Amino acid sequence: MSSTQEIQFALNRINRVLASKRTPGYRDIRLGLDRISRVVPDKQEWKGIHVAGTNGKGSICTFLAGMFKLAGLGYGSFTSPAFPERHNGVTINGLYVNPRMYDMEMKHVEEKYNRIAAGWKYKHGQEPLNLTPFEFETATAFRVFNKMHVPYGIVEVGMGGATDATNAMKQKSVTIISKIGLDHQEYLGNSIDHIAKVKAGIMRKNVPCIVDHTNKPSVIHVLRKHAREVGTDIILTWKGEPLLLTLDNSRWMLESYQVQNLLCAAMAFRHLFPLQEINLDKLLETDPFLPGRLETVQVNAPLSGIQPREILVDGAHNMLGITELSRHVNRRLRKDDQPVTWVMGMSQSKHKPFFKMMENLVEPQDNFAMVEFTQGPNDPQPLPASFGAEYAKTKQIDPGNVYSGTPDIASALPWACKKSDGGPLVVTGSLYLIRQLFSLKGIHRTRELGTGVQTGETTSPPITETKELQRKAAFHKKQAEGYRKSIAAIKRDMESPKKETDKPETAVENIASRLEDLEAQAAKHKAEYDDAMFNIRGRRALPHMKYKSHRQVFGYPATPKPPTKSPFQPAGESKKRKGKSSVSWKGTKESFKDQLAAAEKQRALEIKQAKTRDSSDPFEAKVAANRKTEGNL
């Protein structure tokens, strides 16, 4: 092994050790296609629709999914980040993929990469780094698309474009680039033009690229130049404005950036299916919006206080998103100088102008709470809540209007609901904060990721919660049955004659008090059991009712069912052989004399075989017979 390989081998060992020491806030982001290209399926059975951009790419994917669903066309969709669970990022025809199937496909990806890594180590004498979490999710989504045999796959870029894991897609039908701005500069570059160059990397030869025409001229110039180098064309969204004739925006009140996202999706769909009808009003009736994007959420007690109330939730986490959210709030929610209550939580970044972002949103008369989200695996670190206090101090906001309690969403939201006093309340910032908000008890959402509008029915609790409720119900049921048996046994003892050890009055009082205690305990466990089963079923059990049997539902047959007839019949002479001579071997009959000779021959053979079998030596009888013959001679 050369010295260079030894150094690399040592560095890889150090990286492996450090990987086990990483904190939950560590983000394993390594751009590049070298690792992901080794584990994606060799054959891509679906046509890809690749969507990149700084803001709006997730909404474009959701709009496209709604168009596919309205047209009755099969599709799969992969968006990120997924919440509340990672399998929620993959939908098939508008439904979440089965979590067990998702985990199984992810396990296949891991096993395949482990085999490749073992071969790499044997050949080069060094261990390659593992796949990143997003690479695992991307390869799993591609495998799910293949397994479900979807004809089209709508894929959202995770970060950037050219070096993003989703760019390992082998077959694309159309690409889309939404509005581009500054974000993730530590990975993509410090200028918008450089970021545009990275995002243009999703383009393919002879595959058209739909581009949001509201991008800066310099961005469009970079995209057009790259398209010429690749061998394709870009199509600006202003060319598809006739498609907006089917949109009544006075009804939907969409912001301008939402209209552009909708136009990007409609133009891509028109390119794929020129003869399919596109009715944007029908599309918006299905509520095709991502969760946490200008979503109205109902907050119930105890978070909201006594009365439930509605709040606005938007995952604006960069300058572009903050600017659009500020415009929406000032136009639609803020009335005159009415204060708006803000609850904000951002992820750390050395390139984001946090003070400027807060300044765009928060007015001097507003109420303001800065919170921190709880870090999960591969989540970024939250921005410290002290930034909010510093901003409020510099802007001379009344300290009574600034939250100073525990900096988490569960504690700040009740304060915000009380402080807003029925006025506008907005929760904004990182999508990781939105994910944590939606997990709180008392939050009722009107949207569900990728499946349109919820019916408002009681949803089943998560699997882990259901198992805990089932365990609790089983325990209390067993306890209640035990108490009932004890009560029944005591009552039997009271009825049966026994020796009088105590005075009759004392014995009756003791037994009665004991029965009361046991009945109270039994009733307590029965109530706990009923409460647990109510949370599992979503309804109370019907008293004194049980399911009918099959015979009670369908009744008895009018006449008894006849026994099954046997497929066999007595063996008799065939009708075809009647009147004909019996069949014999070789076409001749055997006479009685021949039969007798055959029987004698068979009997002699059996005697000979018996003698041979009874002798200890198989050859002894033969030798003795030969000696007898020689003596006679």
- State the amino acid at position 99 in one-letter form: P
Q: What is the pLDDT of residue 381?
A: 85
Please state the pTM of the whole predicted model: 0.66
**What are the phi and psi torsion angles at 273 (to 5°)?**
-135, 85
Sequence-distant (≥ 6) Cβ neighbours of residue 364 within 8 angstroms: 395, 396, 397
Task: Report yes or no: 357 and 322 within 8 Å, Cβ to Cβ.
Answer: yes
Q: What is the pLDDT of residue 28?
A: 58
Q: What is the pLDDT of residue 457?
A: 43
Q: How far apart are CA 109 and CA 112, in angstroms?
A: 5
Give the pair of three-digit tokens for residue 59.
């909404």
Q: Which of 402, 401, 374, 406 is nearest to 388 (CA)?
A: 402
Classify strands 95-96 and 209-211 as parallel, antiparallel or unpaired: unpaired
Q: How far apart are CA 97 and CA 141, in angstroms?
A: 10
Handedness of CA 215, 218, 221, 227 (dihedral sign): negative
Q: In what order do the strands lie in the sheet with 47-52?
A: 95-96, 90-92, 76-78, 152-156, 47-52, 172-177, 209-211, 234-236
Roughly how many angstroms between the first and final C-alpha of the chain, as a whole number? 94
- Strands (E) located in 152-192: 152-156, 172-177
Cis peptide, bond prior to residue 302, ω within 30 of zero: yes
Mean pLDDT per 10-residue interval, the chain, length 633 residues: 55 48 49 85 95 94 95 95 86 93 95 84 64 93 96 94 92 96 78 92 96 95 96 96 94 93 97 95 92 90 84 91 93 89 91 89 94 83 89 89 92 94 93 90 73 42 70 81 80 64 58 76 83 76 65 68 65 58 52 77 83 61 61 55
Q: How far apart are CA 166 and CA 202, in angstroms?
A: 9
**DSSP 3-state assignment of 521?**
helix
**DSSP single-letter state for residue 91:** E
Q: What is the pLDDT of residue 111?
A: 93
Q: What is the pLDDT of residue 148?
A: 94
How many alpha carbons fall within 13 Å on the CB side of residue 409? 29
Classify strands 452-453 and 152-156 as parallel, antiparallel or unpaired: unpaired
Give the pair of three-digit tokens for residue 507.
């014995």
Q: What is the pLDDT of residue 117?
A: 82
**What are the phi and psi torsion angles at 469 (to 5°)?**
-65, -40
Q: What is the pLDDT of residue 20?
A: 38
Q: Which of 151, 109, 154 is nearest to 133 (CA)?
A: 109
**DSSP 3-state assignment of 502?**
coil
Q: Cα-Cα-Cα-Cα dihedral of 526, 531, 535, 537, to 10°?
A: 50
How many alpha carbons fall within 13 Å on the CB side of residue 480? 15
The CATH number of domain 295-448, selected from 3.90.1170.30, 3.90.190.20, 3.90.190.10, 3.40.50.800: 3.90.190.20
Sequence-distant (≥ 6) Cβ neighbours of residue 625 within 8 angstroms: none
Q: What is the pLDDT of residue 576?
A: 56
Rounded (5°) CA angle 260-266-269: 145
The CATH architecture of the domain made up of 3-285 is 3-Layer(aba) Sandwich (3.40)
Angle between helices 192-199 and 217-230 (to 10 degrees): 30
Measured between alpha carbons, how far is residue 278 from residues 64, 174, 211, 253, 271 in Å?
11, 17, 19, 19, 12
Task: Report yes or no: 212 and 53 within 8 Å, Cβ to Cβ.
Answer: yes
Angle between helices 431-438 and 409-420 (to 10 degrees): 80
**What are the phi and psi torsion angles at 270 (to 5°)?**
-65, -35
Q: Cα-Cα-Cα-Cα dihedral of 448, 449, 453, 456, to 10°?
A: -10
